[in-house]
Amino acid sequence: MPPLSLPASLLTGPSLLLALALGVAFIVVATTRFKLHPFLALIITAYALGLAAGLTPAATMSALTGGFGKTIATIGIVIACGCIVGSVLEKSGCAVVMAETVLKLIGRQRSVLAMSCTGAVVSIPVFCDSGYVILSSLNRSLARQTGQSLAAFAVALSMGLYSTHCLVPPTPGPIATAGELGADIGKVIVLGLLVAVPVVLTTYAYARFVGSRVFVDPARHNGSAASPTPPAMPRPGALAAFAPIVLPVLLIALKSVADLPDRPFGDGAWRAALATLGDPNTAIVLGVFLAWFVVRRAGREVFGAWCGDGLRDAGTIILITAAGGALGGVLRETAMAQFVGDSVAALDLGRWSILLPFLIAAGLKTALGSSTVAMITTASLVGHLLPSMGLAAGFGPVLTTLAVASGAMMVSHVNDSYFWVISQMSGLTVSQGYRLVTVGSAIAGVTGVAVVLTLSLVLL
């Protein structure tokens, strides 16, 4: 008996985009009004969109499970161990020590800006989702210490991480895009940093604005069971408190440096060691062991209970995030990417041609969810168009790379795993996630392309 098959495409072109819009609307309504768990809403939507786009049931399930598994493979260990570190730091008092140290250094009134800048620095070598997991305990502690809404800190940290993740190599998106377009990596780094500064500042301003209007209680917990009370132990110093966070970031950063084309650490034992220790999964596991060393006086039973609390939180976060990856995996198997690319490429923008790669990347990011996929796909679509757009020489490929990167920030929503990392780690509802993360990413992308456009008027 031949396998069940469907027509080549039940939905094409604009109908496919309409189906995506309806799918997003279903997720929002089902989770907010009817209280359907986001995991189920995402899986149902992914399966329905795959069938509507003409994929066979087998192909739909293959794409769904492939996207689900790929997301877990990428962030599962990081989130699990990150939640353990966060639980240990919070329950041992280390998080309070970190918050008080930061407030002494930069002042209570500038703590939100500090998290914006911290995110921007950390995400140059570290993936933004990993960075958010690692820093979320500090984020929550600062919000609690200052009495501010966690919403402001969530936007500040997430968009600070997002800006350099998309704009500044050596993260894979800008590296691959620059390579495809023939852009000089050094110039992309320098101008990417320049573009990132206004992006960080505008999203920081939005963080302050939305933080005064949306209250997210930093003391609200995800429902972990109560832990045993640890025996009296001396309060850890600032260095010890920060170490479980700083060590993973430092190792990941050193790996990124070691992987640069000029191989600053050579190709011998040092690079091999950093390739292992600087892998995000290995680095965050080492962070867990360091957290245990810092709080070892609490005893094995207490530390084990704290780990259990962290893992209970991590389970829900990982599953919802992976379900978002499943939706993105299904969408990438449909004709949506080709339709968006062809539609935007047909536009005649004249002297505003630098906007073309931005619009393509923005359309693909919004449709598919992955910034990296949007950037790489856009680069392959517009690479051969650079001569006709007058962008093949000088700073043209560099600015095109940054225009693509800006578009790849537009916009993060329910088909983006980063959206779910931020929402779940910060205790946001889906509607709050849209107001904070989706709007914040739109502001980031628009700011980025505005700066790129301004630079193009000067450099081209």
Give the tens place of pLDDT for each residue, 349-360.
666 788 888 988
Coil, strand or helix at 432: helix
pLDDT at 401: 93
For 252-276, give the DSSP string.
HHHHHHHTSTT-TT-SSHHHHHHHH
| Helices marked H in 33-184 | 38-52, 57-92, 94-106, 111-122, 128-146, 150-167, 172-181
pLDDT, mean of residues 218-233: 57
Task: List, for residues 26-38, the tens digit of each pLDDT value.
Answer: 887 887 778 888 8
What is the 3 state secondary structure string of 306-337?
HHHHHHHHHHHHHHHHHHHHHHHHHHHCCCHH
Task: List, for residues 255-313, the tens digit of each pLDDT value.
Answer: 877 877 778 888 888 888 988 998 888 988 999 999 999 888 888 888 999 899 889 87
**Residue of 323 and 201 predicted with greater confidence:** 201
pLDDT at 103: 76
Mean pLDDT of the chain: 83
Highest mean pLDDT (candidates 111-115, 242-246, 436-440) = 436-440
Q: What is the length of the chain?
A: 460
pLDDT at 6: 42
Would the pLDDT of 5 be above 50?
A: no
pLDDT, mean of residues 414-435: 89
Contact (CB, 8 A) for 151 and 108: no
Would the pLDDT of 59 be above 80?
A: yes
Task: List, for residues 329-379, the tens digit of each pLDDT value.
Answer: 888 788 776 776 666 667 666 667 888 889 888 988 887 787 877 887 778
- Which tokens belong to 69? 């598994």
Would the pLDDT of 224 be above 50?
A: no
The residue whose two tokens read 């995030």 is: 321
pLDDT at 351: 67
Task: List, for residues 118-133, the tens digit of each pLDDT value.
Answer: 888 777 766 788 788 8
pLDDT at 61: 95
Per cent of the chain over pLDDT 90 is 24
Task: List, for residues 136-160, the tens digit of each pLDDT value.
Answer: 888 888 898 888 999 999 999 999 9
pLDDT at 3: 40
**Residue of 220 and 25 predicted with greater confidence:** 25
pLDDT, mean of residues 48-64: 91
Band of the pLDDT at 328, cuts 50, 70, 90? confident
pLDDT at 280: 83
Would the pLDDT of 383 be above 80?
A: no
Band of the pLDDT at 403, cuts 50, 70, 90? very high
Helix (H), strand (E) at residue 19: helix 14-32
- Which tokens belong to 360? 């393509």
Read off the pTM: 0.73
